Structure 1
Amino acid sequence: MFVGKDECCDPAESQTLDQVLRSSLAWSTVFKQQVLGFIVGKKNYLVHEVMDMRRRTTTPREYATDLTITPYNNVGIIISCYIIGDSTCGQRALYLVGMTGMPIYNVNNNCSTGSTALFLAKQIIESGNAECVLALGFEKMERGSLSPKFLDRTNPLDRHVETMAAVAGFCDSPVPSQLFGNAAVEHMAKYGTKPEHLAKIAYKNHKHSVNNPYSQFQEEYTLEQILASPRIFGPLTKLQCCPTSDGSAAAILASEDFVHLHGLEGQAVEIVGMEMATDLPSTFDENSCMKVAGYDMTKTAAEKLFSKTTYKPEDVHVVELHDCFSANELITYEALGLCEPGKAGDFIDSGNNTYGGRVVVNPSGGLISKGHPLGATGLAQCSELCWQLRGLADKRQVPGAKLALQHNIGLGGAAVVTLYKLGFPHAHAKK
């Protein structure tokens, strides 16, 4: 079946979901970069993922596995997530795949939109209101830094920017770089962190990206090159900032019965827990640029997550962390509990954030290298962690990875923190 034109397919053709998502990503340039994730479970299991963030329409490995989960008309609800675009884009994309009359929601929650869709899909499954939910995220971005689109109304980040400006001033640099750059400046003043610590984070992530065939950029840079690249704001240079990206991602959730019905135990990855937090009074009341940038949102979500599970931060083996800027990765180490407050510099210097250290952070290359198509990023992170847990990450595989953590944040704001593990380890071992 070809869905490159304005054609609709008959659900009775019983396409597999692999074919459905392959087709849905072909209809327009919005979907040229592909990041797909299939998530299943009442306990929430991920069962298959493929990813590409580069400018091409096919990938070398993404369809190597013939996934035959279920016909498209078994999907009960769809959650579409994007930030830049007109209303009902999800319908426009998926009507070309099949028109079953299913409910389709369109979600926008800034850079955490992909994880927000996953969060909602998980709740729908757990409530019993659907057996199978598709979360579809995509973004086609303009070149250059992010800027407001609606100048005739209040910007949702006005209060964040005003709070930052009252503490640190305001200039003509891109606003996101000021928000996160000033968080780094505060950390440096408070704890003695150096610009080299920020550069080391970017060095690590660019180095990791070399082994990720689905990364938008796959170049390694020296620490000197990173520090010498054009300065964007404060200590942040160009090679410490994520690029604008086009991309897409998808995740399918279903009840635990669905996993057993389709014999997916051998590849199922369980969502152990998932928490979302929004801004607290401290964001605006404590004159802290770190808190304006979401430190307390992340800390709150992480603490709730660990308190509801049997795990602690030190149990985590691999992390996909929202490194929109190296500054955010630095402060988030502490907010997630990966190291003590004020100890991020030591954590970096000791190599505890990469292979051979305590935990591997952003083996994919992170947003800095992999790319950051806003509506898809959360689902792309999810895909990488599933590959890691299944031992399918090739040269970037984290040895012995059994517990994975995902961190996805959007200013304005929402932070989503998630834990994953293999759902049925014995079944996986038999594959």
Structure 2
Amino acid sequence: MTAKAYVVGVGMTKFEKPETRDWQYWDMAKEAGTAALADAGVPYARVEQAAVGYCFQASTAGQRAVYELGLSGIPVYNLNNNCATGSTALMTARQFVEGGVADCVLALGFEKMSRGSLGGGSGAGDFKTSPVARHYGIMAAAHGFEMSPPTAQIFGNAAREHMERYGTTEAQLAAVGAKNHRHSANNPNAQFQDVYTVEEILAAKTVHRPLTKLQCSPTSDGAAAALVVSERFVTEHGLQDRAVEIAGQAMTTDTEESFASGSCIDAVGRPMSRAAARLAYERSGLGIEDVDVVELHDCFSVNELLTYEALGMCEEGASGKLVESGATTYGGRWVVNPSGGLISKGHPLGATGLAQAAELVWQLRGEAGARQVAGARVGLAHNIGLGGAAVVTLLRKA
């Protein structure tokens, strides 16, 4: 496609522990959607389509949420792509704009979750008909299946494989958590704003060895939104100062590589992420060397390390040393997860990918306040869901 798509407005709620606030998913969706429209200075009446993502609400919850913004009769598309749902909504909106279907599309994501670990307390039998049964089968064959939360198990086992294969240390894994908790101290929208040392993170309760609680993303309530428009819309409405270009974007799903090795590292998505990054770089004409700020899917600390490698930030196996060197925080080569990431900002599944986009838009506009990355011109978002989908998005401020 030769047409371009731009994000001109973003908004999000504060991410919070489930049941903290007495609100429904449509309340949080209204808050985020209203904020995105206000950020752009565009009335809801100009929105032509809505792409709405969530995982745990009922069918047509997207309509119920959008009705809080207005009853204009526009098409509403309900999307569910596991933890990559928010970025799937953004990609859908971009495709509508680039394809000439609409000039102004709202991408909205939300989640109202339950307390406790995602999938915690479930036995192996519950996964026999699950979309991720094949992934957990890889894990069970190599490592067995225990009673700890299954997502923590598969990522924890990926961490152990990385340690055994490359010499990655528990302290390097904990350094990811320490960095992201430190970053979140400057983010008023983050679920947690506490700072921890590597030693404190290592001493926290073990969820599944070697991952401790402070290296795992929590369940969260929250919503995020982005208004995606055409170049014509930007010009006609004088939005050049608000516009951030979606310079390149790609989604990939599992291939034979995800399962052939029998490794949890591959089953949790490193091959998908690597392929999505390659395509996004090709489509944008940009590379990791052009990127200043990254929001990536650190559902567990190990996944941040795996994603460094998939994005080409370091050689395979060198990610532990990369985070330890300070290259991925302020003063380093990139600032990764200035928002605090999933580990500290929170992880309401349907909203996560759009919250990443919101953070990058603020960064590229120079509006991120105390967590601003100096001189940021190019941002990269990485969002992944088991089952599987990986979305990589490159954003650029003109």
- What TM-score does the superposition give when structure 2 sets the normalisation length? 0.91
The alpha-carbon deviation at position 66 of structure 1 amounts to: 5.4
Shift of 1:49: 2.6
- C-alpha distance in structure 2 between counterparts of 1:275 and 1:347, whole Å: 25
Equivalent residue for 1:411, pick from 367, 370, 386: 386
Other-structure match for 2:171: 196
User: Which residue does the alignment assign to 1:262?
Assistant: 237
Number of the residue aligned with 1:359: 334
User: Aligned with 1:183: secondary structure?
Assistant: helix
Q: Whole-Å Cα distance in 2 between the matches of residues 152 and 87 of structure 1? A: 22
Match of 1:129 in 2: 101
Q: How many residues align?
A: 381
Q: Cα 1:250–1:168, aligned 2, differ >3 Å: closer, same or farther?
A: same
Q: Which residue of 2 aligns with 1:47?
A: 8
Deviation at 1:238, TM superposition (A): 0.4
Listed as ranges, the matches of 1:15-34 within 5 Å are none
Measure, in 1, the Cα distance between the counterparts of 2:249 and 2:38: 29
Match of 1:181 among 156, 162, 180: 156
1:42 to partner: Cα distance: 4.8
**Contact 2:292–2:378 (CA under 8 A) maintained in structure 1:** yes
Match for 2:343 among 368, 375, 386?
Answer: 368
Which residue does the alignment assign to 1:26? none
Partner of 1:93: 65
Tell me the distance in 2 between the aligned counterparts of 1:356 and 1:200: 16
In the alignment, structure 1 residue 209 sits paired with structure 2 residue 184 = yes
Paired residues of 2:10 and 2:37 also in contact (CA < 8 A): no
Residue in 2 aligned with 1:105?
A: 77
Quick one: structure 1 residues 42 and 145, their matched pair in 2 at CA, closer, same or farther if it must change by over 3 Å? farther
The superposition leaves residues 359-395 of structure 1 with CA deviations (integer Å, 9 ceiling, x where unpaired) of 0100000001100000000000000001111111111
Which runs of 5 or more structure 2 residues have no equivalent in the other structure? none
Deviation per CA, 1:81-117: give whole Å up to 9, x if none. 1000110001112223322221111000000000001
What is the deviation of 1:328? 0.5
SS state at 1:399 partner:
coil
1:337 aligns with 2:312: yes
Instruction: After TM superposition, give the deviation of residue 170 of structure 1 in Å.
Output: 1.4
2-structure distance, mates of 1:201, 1:368:
9
Q: Which has the larger radius of gyration?
A: 1
Helix, strand or coil at the partner of 2:227: strand
Whether the 8 Å contact between 2:191 and 2:344 is mirrored in structure 1 is yes
2:211 to 233, 236, 245: 236
Preserved contact between residue 42 and residue 122 of structure 1 (Cα < 8 Å): no
- CA displacement, residues 263-311 of structure 1 (integer Å, 9 cap, x when unaligned): 0001211111000000011111111110001000000000111123322
Q: Which consecutive aligned stretches of 4+ in structure 1 deviate over 6 angstroms post-superposition? A: 62-65
**Preserved contact between residue 249 and residue 393 of structure 2 (Cα < 8 Å):** yes
- 1:399, 1:287 → 2: CA distance? 42
Give 5+ residue unaligned stretches, structure 1: 1-40, 424-431
d(CA) in 1 for partners of 2:135 and 2:129? 12
2:257 is equivalent to residue 278 of structure 1: no
- 1:164 and 2:126 aligned: no
Name which of 287, 298, 317 aligns with 2:273.
Answer: 298
CA–CA distance in structure 1, aligned partners of residues 137 and 291 of structure 2: 36
Q: CA deviation at 1:254?
A: 1.7
> In terms of mean alpha carbon deviation, does 90-99 or 228-237 score higher?
90-99
Deviations 1:2-51, CA, capped at 9 Å, x for gaps: xxxxxxxxxxxxxxxxxxxxxxxxxxxxxxxxxxxxxxx95222223333
| Matched residue, 1:116 | 88
Seen in structure 2, the aligned counterparts of structure 1 residues 352 and 132 have a Cα distance that, compared at 3 Å, is same
Task: Deviation per CA, 1:231-269: give whole Å up to 9, x if none.
Answer: 011110000001100001111112111111110001211
Percent of aligned pairs with the same amino acid: 55
- State the AA in 1 paired with 2:372: Q
| Partner Cα distance (2:294, 2:40) in 1 | 29
**Stretch moving more, 48-57 or 267-276:** 48-57
TM, length-normalised to structure 1: 0.84
> 2:59 is paired with a residue of what secondary structure?
coil
Cα distance change on mapping 1:311 and 1:97 into 2, 3 Å: closer
